[in-house]
Homo-oligomer: A and B are copies of this chain.
Amino acid sequence: MMDKTPETPYYAAIFTSVRTEGDRGYSEMSARMVELAREQEGFLGMESARNETGITVSYWRDLDCIRKWKNHSEHLLAQAKGKGKWYQSFKVRIAKVEKEYGFEKE
């Protein structure tokens, strides 16, 4: 799914990851985190895809909203479990979206 985002500028949290073997509760947590993120103040959209690498990009109104989401208690728990069992490695990049353009087939 590709989400519609507002006029720039806004912010993107680019989360790239390599998973460990097996599910071990990952899918359930992942679905819950998507649901929870969508409820947060300043959430603008989210796009996700996975092969060997997983990429999730979430979009936010400003840095403060990203900071609050990062420190949300249920999200903190998921982050801790993520380091403990679900992820081999990950990277988070916080970026200010300055320009956006697109294409849609008629």
The residues of A with any CB-CB pair to B shorter than 8 Å are 1-2, 5, 12, 14, 16-18, 20, 47-55, 57, 83, 87-105
Contact = CB atoms under 8 A, between A and B. Distances in A.
Determine chain A's interface SS by DSSP, over half rule: strand
A12 B95 contact: yes
Nearest to A5: B93
A42 to B, nearest CB: 16
B90 A99 contact: no
Nearest to A98: B94
Nearest to A95: B95
A1 B16 CA distance: 9
A19 to B, nearest CB: 11
